[in-house]
Structure 1
Amino acid sequence: MRNPLTHILGVDSNVAVLRELVRHGGALSASDIQGRSGLSRSGVRLGLISLEKSGIVVSEGSLATRLHRFNTAHFLSPQIAALYVAEKDRFTDIVESIRNSAGTQRSLLRSLWIYGSVARKEDGPESDLDIGLIADKEYLSGLVEAVRENLREPAARLGFLPNVVGLDLEDVSRLARDADPWWLTATLDVVVLAGDRPEEVPVRDRSHNYG
């Protein structure tokens, strides 16, 4: 009676299952939830059992075709749905602040991207938000300074810690040629916000010069 949120949101799998159901807005199978959330099969099953007991999730159909949905009639449904909307909107605002962080110098960017744990969707509360950018050598230092400065206010307001790494074309060619471990990791799973994918920049530059 007193603390129903403990039972609804007190386990990671509950939070993840509920997030996918709220964001989808309709009925999903357990396998759909698993694919969307990245949880294990057992994690989804345990989450659904707990959430059904709390009444925040309702299920229908036979065992083979069972579907699950967020219970919008639950007494806490408006507040819980609002939490997930706020969570999604915050990340959208973070991404947009990075996308626009070069300001009037945005056209000078060869590439701007997010990499690391955030791009891989493996970040935790203490994770930095790793940001990479590529620009011609003569513009690089000014762009890095502008991005860092323009991210100060949104970082404080939205609660994230940007870690900005700037590279020029020579840096990128060298890292790619040497198969540098950091470079391979930083370009494996990326969210590109401006320009080309980082590993494609040197190739495109050579095509421009010699094509």
Structure 2
Amino acid sequence: MRNPRIPQSHFTAPLNEILGTEANVRVLRELCRADSPMARTTIAERAGLSLPGTSAAVAKLQRSGIVEAVGAGTRQSFGFRHGHPLAPALRTLFLAETLRTDALHGELRSLLGSLSSTPRAAWIVESEAPDEPGAPLRLSVLGAARDLPELASAIQGAIGELGSRYDTTIEVRATTEADLATASPAEHAVMQGATPVFGPHPLTFIDGSADAHQTAGPKRATHADRDHQAALSAAWIADQLNRDPSLPKRARNWLVHRLHVASPREAAELDDWLHVLESSSIPRIQHLLLSPGERAVRLRQSNPFIPVLTDRERDLMRKAATG
């Protein structure tokens, strides 16, 4: 891009520098999501960038004041500067991006589950080539060869309105287990990054563990199993509140944004949680998370703390929940 003919002040238009390149946005997104500063190599890995590209973006963002350095030398790391005047707006922007994706995946899951004949699995894969605005999302659907044409046609017809609401085109691709078994190494690499929206991950069908994954998956779990798992997760979060008192605020922010896209049924549960977080102390929130009462059991199924956990926190919670 050519240099602008008329320069603008960094004070009046700081986003020109902050969001000026895709690398800047990728780095800032990962730093905004992280719960602590990260080394350049970690940022590069999470953002999908080269180390030189990451270093250049970090330097620009640090110069703009939205990123700050911690430490020095080989141990230097970088974090999102929460005290920057535009930090709340940028956090909201990245959160809205995440919520839009989560909401679409949730609606796809509900739609696929409501069909008279459901697929064995469905997943969204990233484009093999650089994505362009307007490029379709690719929804791969797995089923028996004899049923796939009718199933794919039914799904494609049902998701048209969904694509319009999310301002995207969803392209359905029918897949059989035979297709997965004969996939090339390059196709395997693409599937590695697939996001399951219904059923297990596609690679479980390739390594022969699909049946085990389905048996352990949420479709076979009983209400008691789900309640028990939710209680274990809630117990970990209740303990985490002692170490991280910012969790209620993060959960409240997530609730406020989620309510804009929630169904009426979900909104009722989220409103209940919002009232709890706005009117209760941390000890009272912990009591609700641990309570065996009917209301607590119900609310744990829509626990707003889980979506705001970092990847590391989710891993710790899962390990605690599985012993």
* TM norm. shorter chain > 0.5: yes
Instruction: Give the structure 2 partner of residue 153 of structure 1.
Output: 161
Instruction: Give the structure 1 partner of residue 174 of structure 2.
Output: 166
Q: Aligned equivalents of 1:81 and 1:4: distance in 2?
A: 16
TM-score (norm 2): 0.53
Gaps (5+ residues) in structure 1? 206-211
Q: Aligned equivalents of 2:129 and 2:105: distance in 1?
A: 14
Instruction: Give the structure 1 partner of residue 97 of structure 2.
Output: 87
What are the within-5 Å matches in structure 2 for residues 35-114 of structure 1?
35-105=45-115, 108-114=118-124
CA 1:66/1:199 → structure 2, altered by over 3 Å: closer, same or farther? closer
Q: Aligned equivalents of 2:174 and 2:23: distance in 1?
A: 37
Letter in 2 for 1:192: P
TM-score (norm 1): 0.78
Letter in 2 for 1:191: T
Instruction: Give the structure 2 partner of residue 126 of structure 1.
Output: 134
Q: Aligned equivalents of 1:110 and 1:55: distance in 2?
A: 49
Instruction: Give the structure 1 partner of residue 195 of structure 2.
Output: 191
Q: Does 1:23 align with 2:33?
A: yes
Identity of matched residues, %: 26
Is contact 1:102–1:146 with CA below 8 Å preserved after alignment?
no
Pairwise CA distance, 1:129: 1.0
Gaps (5+ residues) in structure 2? 1-10, 211-323
Letter in 1 for 2:122: L
- The C-alpha deviation readout for 1:154-209, integer Å capped at 9, x for no partner, is 21122221111224x5xx53x468x476x9737851333333527828x789xxxx
Pairwise CA distance, 1:60: 1.9
Q: Does 1:14 align with 2:18?
A: no
- The C-alpha deviation readout for 1:112-158, integer Å capped at 9, x for no partner, is 122351xx695332322111213345643443233223322221122
Is contact 2:23–2:53 with CA below 8 Å preserved after alignment?
yes
Q: Aligned equivalents of 2:44 and 2:31: distance in 1?
A: 11
CA 1:180/1:54 → structure 2, altered by over 3 Å: closer, same or farther? closer
| Match among 120, 125, 131 for residue 115 of structure 1 | 125
Higher strand share: 1
Is contact 1:102–1:150 with CA below 8 Å preserved after alignment?
no
Q: Aligned equivalents of 1:68 and 1:77: distance in 2?
A: 15
Letter in 2 for 1:29: A
Cα-Cα RMSD: 3.0
CA 1:121/1:157 → structure 2, altered by over 3 Å: closer, same or farther? farther
